[in-house]
């Protein structure tokens, strides 16, 4: 927990709720415009044996339950829609450079709770069709730049309506660096410390190639082996003065093809997943090549509205001691 001294929200509760809607409505439109996306509906749950759920870092437990009306088959609340979106693109018949986005709502029961993390996750999940020649870092960077334009358009709209709020995006031009390059700059720091160091200096940073092991034998951060290609992915972070820390707004990447799927499953020791329906479909060339990601709705609202805690912009569940600590510092959780 970070408890800023002398914190006072610039917006009261009602103003905050109105501003949240403005952020979400504006960014959703701008994201769709800049990335050529169409909004679709998305599931809250998937079959446990489908292979569609995102297993995140591998240790997070999905919430699962059986349904008598479905012959007692097990369902799981989604962690994210990384794999489901790829199948949806096929089902909708989406063509190259077009895509979909959706409101993704999830529950991550094993999340550590703090200013930025909640067990309730809400994000814009998006995915678009690409071809093999688009699977490169330049194409990835171009997409990140377009997402930044959508963020800047949204911040402009917020400032027009709420001039009392501070500008958050100090640097609209993204600084690109691989996780290995960042490690070589600061080999004695942890991955979080490395992020803070580079983002405090550059303000807006995209750290690429996350998931594979660095020279110290550890990845910069965990990534499931069966959706992002670890050579063509990354995290978008900006520096947030209110909390004096780097904040990740988006994780995204070009998705695995057959070769990278097998290689990453072998590296991670998860070859048993090859028997799951999603993985079989990919290996049988039944799914398009895609790229996609997620952009945190509450995090974007939190930053653009100058809030100190994600609980100020979303209704979730928090420990009693956290609620009291926040209240004592003028941080009112919804």
Which of 76, 127, 134, 235 is catalytic? The answer is 235
Burial class (CB in 10 A: 0-12, 13-18, 19+), 106: buried
Question: Which two three-digit tokens encode residue 166?
Answer: 């501070």
How far, rounded to the nearest angstrom, does the alpha carbon of residue 219 sit from its chain's CA centroid?
18
Residues 6+ positions from 32 with CB-CB distance below 8 Å: 38, 39, 101
Task: Establish whether 248 is a catalytic residue.
Answer: yes
User: Could you tell me if 82 and 20 are in contact, meaning their C-beta atoms sit under 8 angstroms apart?
Assistant: no
Out of 30, 123, 231, 268, the active site residue is 123
Query: How is 161-186 classified by DSSP, letter by letter?
Result: H-TTSPP--S--SPEEEEHHHHHHH-
Marked catalytic residue, from 28, 86, 108, 122: 108
Which uninterrupted H or E stretch holds 121? strand 120-129
- Is there a catalytic annotation at residue 221? no
HSE, side-chain direction, 13 A CA sphere, residue 265: 18
Residues paired with residue 296 on neighbouring β-strands, in sequence order? 123
Of the residues 250, 251, 297, 314, only one is catalytic, namely 251
Angle between helices 137-161 and 297-304 (to 10 degrees): 50
Active site (annotated) includes residue 108 = yes
Among residues 248, 273, 316, 332, which one is catalytic?
Answer: 248
Which one of 28, 54, 125, 229 is the catalytic residue? 54
251 is catalytic: yes
Please report where in the chains the tokens 């749950």 appear, as a residue: 45
**94 touches 129 (CB < 8 A):** yes
SS3 1: coil
- DSSP class of 32: H
Cα distance between residue 166 and residue 238, in whole Å: 14
Q: Which residue has the tokens 């974007």?
A: 300
Which of 19, 1, 16 is CA-nearest to residue 332? 16
Return d(Cα 175, Cα 118) in angstroms, integer. 28
Any idea which residues carry the catalytic annotation? 54, 108, 123, 235, 248, 251
């Amino acid at each position: 927990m970070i408890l800023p001294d002398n914190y006072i929200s610039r917006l009261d509760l009602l103003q905050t709720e109105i501003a949240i809607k403005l952020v979400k409505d504006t960014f959703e439109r701008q994201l769709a415009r800049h990335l050529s996306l169409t909004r679709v509906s998305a599931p809250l749950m998937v079959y446990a044996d489908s292979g569609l759920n995102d297993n995140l870092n591998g240790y997070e437990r999905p919430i699962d339950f059986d349904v008598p009306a479905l012959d007692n088959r097990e369902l799981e609340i989604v962690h994210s829609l990384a794999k489901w979106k790829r199948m949806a693109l096929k089902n909708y018949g989406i063509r190259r450079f077009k895509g979909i986005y959706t409101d993704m709502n999830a529950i991550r029961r094993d999340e550590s709770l703090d200013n930025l993390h909640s067990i309730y996750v809400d994000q814009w999940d998006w995915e678009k069709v690409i071809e093999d020649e688009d699977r490169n870092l330049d194409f990835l960077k171009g997409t990140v730049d377009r997402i930044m334009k959508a963020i800047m358009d949204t911040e402009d709209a917020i400032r027009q309506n709420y001039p009392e709020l501070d500008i958050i995006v100090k640097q609209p031009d993204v600084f690109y660096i691989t996780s290995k390059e960042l490690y070589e700059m600061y080999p004695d720091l942890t991955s979080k410390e490395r992020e803070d160091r580079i983002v405090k200096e550059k303000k807006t940073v995209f750290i690429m190639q996350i998931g594979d092991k660095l020279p110290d034998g550890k990845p910069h951060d965990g990534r499931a082996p069966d959706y992002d290609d670890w050579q063509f992915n990354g995290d978008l972070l900006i520096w947030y003065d209110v909390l004096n820390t780097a904040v990740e707004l988006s994780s995204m990447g070009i998705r695995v093809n057959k070769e990278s799927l097998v290689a990453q499953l072998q590296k991670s020791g998860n070859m048993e997943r090859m028997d799951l329906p999603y993985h079989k479909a990919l290996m049988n060339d039944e799914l398009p090549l895609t790229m996609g990601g997620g952009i945190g709705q509450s995090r974007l609202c939190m930053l653009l509205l100058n809030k100190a805690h994600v609980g100020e912009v979303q209704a979730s569940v928090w420990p009693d001691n956290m609620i009291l600590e926040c209240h004592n510092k003028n941080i009112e959780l919804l």
